[in-house]
Amino acid sequence: DTVLTQSPALAVSPGERVTISCRASESVSTLMHWYQQKPGQQPTLLIYLASNLESGVPARFSGSGSGTDFTLTIDPVEADDTATYYCQQSWNDPLTFGSGTKLEIK
Amino acid sequence: EVQLVESGGGLVQPGRSMKLSCAASGFTFNNYDMAWVCQAPKKGLEWVATISYDGSSTYYRDSVKGRFTISRDNAKSTLYLQMDSLRSEDTATYYCARSAPGIPYYFDYWGQGVMVTVSS
C-alpha cells in the first residue's frame, strides 16, 4: 500500500502562514487530495488533484506538489482553522490516507 | 443541498453482523460512485469499500474482503454496508462518502458518520 507520511502536529498564531506536508512512499502523480476534519465532525474536501480548490473553500487554502511530495498551505491562518488535516491519494490501489496533521492555533 | 445520512450503527458482539445504511438526497444518486470510509477512535481515516454508480463493480480493502459487502439501491437512493464476522478492530465511525465524478476517486461529500462498536 502507498504510505502517506504527515507530521503529527503544528502550532501557529493567527495571521501566520502554515505549510502542512504529505510525503508518499511511491509516486501518486497529482492524484493527491486534502481534507479538513474539525473535532467531532466529518471530513470536508479542501483541495483535489493536488492544487484545485474545492468550491466554497476560502482562497486562503492552496495545494501544490506532484510525484511524492505535496503541500497544503494556509495563508493567513485563522482561529477557525483548528482541525486535523488529512491527505489522500487515489493513484495507487488501495486508496490511502495520511495519518493526519493536527493544527493548533495559538 | 447534498445530504448523506448514515444509520444502523451501535454495539455488536464479535462474530456477529451489522448492516449500515446511508440515505442520499440533493443529487442524482445513480450518477455517482459511492464509498464507505472508517475512522477508529482517535485514529485516522481508512477507506473501506467503493461501489460503482450502477452497482456493477465493487472494491474492498484487504482486511474486509469476504466479510463486508457494499451495495446500493438506486431506486431508494440508499447505500449499504453489510458487515459480517465482525472483529474488535472493526470498531470505528463509518462515514458514507460520495466519490467525485470521473476517475480521480476523491470524496466531495461525507455523511456525519455512524459509530460501530464491536465488543462482548
- Residue in this structure with the C-alpha cell 438526497, named with its chain if needed: B25
pLDDT of B116 > 90? The answer is yes
The pLDDT score that the predictor gives to residue B102 is 79
Residue-by-residue pLDDT tens, chain A, 106 positions: 999 999 889 999 999 999 999 999 999 999 999 999 999 999 999 999 999 999 999 999 999 999 999 999 999 999 999 999 999 999 999 999 999 999 999 9
- Residue in this structure with the C-alpha cell 501518486, named with its chain if needed: A28
Which residue of A7, A95, A99, A102 is the best one to mutate when testing the B interface, meaning the one whose CB has the most B CBs within 10 A? Answer: A95
A31, A37, A94 ranked by CB distance to B104: nearest: A31
The pLDDT score that the predictor gives to residue B97 is 98
Chain A residues with beta carbon closer than 8 angstroms to that of B50: 95
**Chain B nearest-CA residue for A43:** B110
- Nearest-angstrom CA–CA distance, B58 and B66: 12
Asked if A42 has any chain B CB less than 8 Å from its own CB, the reply is yes
- Chain B: closest CA distance from residue A16 (Å): 26
Cβ within 8 Å of residue B72, ≥6 positions away: B29, B34, B51, B55, B78, B79, B80
pLDDT band for B21, please (50, 70, 90 cuts). very high
Which residue of B107, B109, B114 is the best one to mutate when testing the A interface, meaning the one whose CB has the most A CBs within 10 A? Answer: B107
pLDDT of B104 > 80? The answer is no
**Chain A nearest-CA residue for B50:** A95
Per residue in B49-85, pLDDT tens? 999 999 999 999 999 999 999 999 999 999 999 999 9
The pLDDT score that the predictor gives to residue B81 is 98
Q: Which of B4-35 are b and which e, b meaning 16 or more Cβ less than 10 Å from the residue's Cβ?
A: bebeebeebeeeeebebbbbbeeeebeebbbb
- Nearest-angstrom CA–CA distance, A89 and B36: 16
- Mean pLDDT value across chain B: 96
- Nearest-angstrom CA–CA distance, A101 and A10: 7
CA atoms within 13 Å, Cβ hemisphere of A53: 10
- Chain B: closest CA distance from residue A41 (Å): 7
The pLDDT score that the predictor gives to residue B101 is 85
- Nearest-angstrom CA–CA distance, B91 and B12: 10
Asked if A96 has any chain B CB less than 8 Å from its own CB, the reply is yes
The pLDDT score that the predictor gives to residue B20 is 98
pLDDT band for B87, please (50, 70, 90 cuts). very high
- Nearest-angstrom CA–CA distance, B81 and B48: 10
The pLDDT score that the predictor gives to residue B44 is 95
Higher pLDDT, A7 or B93: B93
Counting DSSP H helices and E strands in chain A, the numbers are: 0, 11
Structure-derived torsion over alpha carbons of residues A98, A99, A103, B3, reported in degrees to the nearest 10? 70
pLDDT band for B88, please (50, 70, 90 cuts). very high
The pLDDT score that the predictor gives to residue B29 is 97
Peptide bond before B104: cis, by omega within 30 degrees of 0? no
The pLDDT score that the predictor gives to residue B103 is 73
Asked if B111 has any chain A CB less than 8 Å from its own CB, the reply is yes
